[in-house]
Amino acid sequence: MLKGADLKKSYRGQSILDGVNIELEPGKISVIIGPSGSGKTTLLKVLSMLDPPDAGTIAVDDWNVQFPLEKGKKLEPPWPKLTVVFQQLFLWPHLTLLQNITLPVFLRQGKEDAEKVEELIDLFEMRGFIYRYPNEASLGQRQRAALARALLLQPKYLLLDEITSSLDVEQVAIILTYLKKLAQAGIGILTVTHLLHFAREAADNVIFMDSGQIIEKGGKEVLLSPSQDRIKRFLSVIEAAT
Partner 1 sequence: MAVWDILTRYHTAFANGLIVTFQLALIVWSAGLLIGTVLGILGAKWTFLVGIPSRVLSFALSGVPILVFLFWLHYPLQSMLQVAIDGFITAAVTLTIINAFAVADVIRGVLSDFPQQYVTAGMVCGMTPLQVLVYIQLPIVLRQTVPVLLMIQVNMLQATLFASLISVPEIFRVAQQINAQIYKPVEIYTALGVLFLCICLPLNGLALWLKARFTRDFSEK
Which of 117, 153, 173, 215 is close enough to bind partner 1 by CB under 8 A?
153
Q: Does 176 bind partner 1 (CB under 8 A)?
A: no
CB neighbours of 29 closer than 8 A, spacing ≥ 6? 179, 180, 183, 189, 190, 191, 202, 203, 204, 205
The answer to whether residues 163 and 147 touch, using CB atoms and an 8 Å cutoff, is yes
CB neighbours of 73 closer than 8 A, spacing ≥ 6? none
Q: Does 149 bind partner 1 (CB under 8 A)?
A: yes
Residue 93 vs 128, nearer CB to partner 1: 93
Q: Does 44 bind partner 1 (CB under 8 A)?
A: no
In angstroms, the CA 135 to CA 142 distance is: 9
Strands 157-161 and 188-192: parallel
Which of 50, 169, 185, 224 is close enough to bind partner 1 by CB under 8 A?
50
Residue 79 vs 178, nearer CB to partner 1: 79
Piece of 65-73, 147-155, 185-193, 204-212 that binds partner 1 (CB under 8 A):
147-155
Q: Does 117 bind partner 1 (CB under 8 A)?
A: no
The answer to whether residues 105 and 148 touch, using CB atoms and an 8 Å cutoff, is no
In the complex, the smallest distance separating the C-beta of residue 198 from partner 1, rounded to whole angstroms, is: 23
Strands 188-192 and 2-11: unpaired
In angstroms, the CA 171 to CA 221 distance is: 26
Number of residues that bind partner 1 (CB under 8 A): 26
Residue 24 vs 206, nearer CB to partner 1: 24
In the complex, the smallest distance separating the C-beta of residue 121 from partner 1, rounded to whole angstroms, is: 18
Q: Does 48 bind partner 1 (CB under 8 A)?
A: yes
The answer to whether residues 1 and 25 touch, using CB atoms and an 8 Å cutoff, is yes
Secondary structure (3-state) at 189 = strand
184-203: contacts with partner 1 (CB under 8 A): none
The binding track of 58-97 with respect to partner 1, each residue x by CB under 8 A or -, is: ---------------------xx--xx---x-xxxxx---
Phi-psi region of 162 (alpha: psi -120 to 50; beta: other; left: phi over 0): left
Phi-psi region of 23 (alpha: psi -120 to 50; beta: other; left: phi over 0): beta
Secondary structure (3-state) at 63 = strand
In the complex, the smallest distance separating the C-beta of residue 81 from partner 1, rounded to whole angstroms, is: 8
The answer to whether residues 6 and 19 touch, using CB atoms and an 8 Å cutoff, is yes
In the complex, the smallest distance separating the C-beta of residue 50 from partner 1, rounded to whole angstroms, is: 6
In the complex, the smallest distance separating the C-beta of residue 239 from partner 1, rounded to whole angstroms, is: 30
Binding site for partner 1 (CB under 8 A): 48, 50, 79-80, 83-84, 88, 90-94, 103-104, 107-108, 133-135, 137-139, 142, 149-150, 153
